[in-house]
Amino acid sequence: MTAVSIAPHVEAAKRLLRELEQHADAAVDVLSRGDGAEFLAVVKERETLLAQLGQVVDVLAHERAQSGRWTAEQHREADSMIGELTRAAKGVHASHERLVSQVAVERDRLSAAVRRSDQPDSVASHYTAMAHAPRLGTLSVTG
């Protein structure tokens, strides 16, 4: 296989990376709406895309390992294509980091809500105590 023949694999990888970046943005939007089921569906789609990307990267790695028969020009061409792929991957990494950050914020918000729900409400506790307090009887002298 020549450097030119890896071009379709590089393009497939770049397409998958673009889809991953779009899914990260979609996941952040779904997360902000609080739709847990839809968020899990988006994450599952991301996992599928990552698996596909892994397969394409495996093919590219195998072909690069066989590059000993390439000419210097083919190496330069392949390096250029891999450089484009690397830049695309950096963009996806940044979008993934944003997603991870938003998930952590949501996790912390939900964790704080659960902790607050476990704590007694001081106003409710006061009214409960008042409702169960022994009533003092009063005696009226006038009637």
Judged against a pLDDT cut of 60, whether residue 1 lies above it is answered with: no
Residues in contact with 57: Cβ distance below 8 Å, sequence separation at least 6, in sequence order = 13
Range 4-119: architecture per CATH:
Up-down Bundle (1.20)
Separation between Cα atoms, residue 109 and residue 34, nearest integer Å: 12
| pTM reported for the whole predicted model | 0.72
Separation between Cα atoms, residue 52 and residue 44, nearest integer Å: 13
User: What is the band of 10 on the pLDDT scale with cuts at 50, 70, 90?
Assistant: very high
User: What is the band of 122 on the pLDDT scale with cuts at 50, 70, 90?
Assistant: confident
Give the model confidence (pLDDT) of 20-79 as tens digits.
999 898 899 998 888 888 989 999 999 999 999 999 999 998 888 877 778 888 889 988
- Tokens 């330069």 — which residue? 76
- Tokens 């590089």 — which residue? 10
From the CA atom positions of the chain, what is the Rg in Å?
30
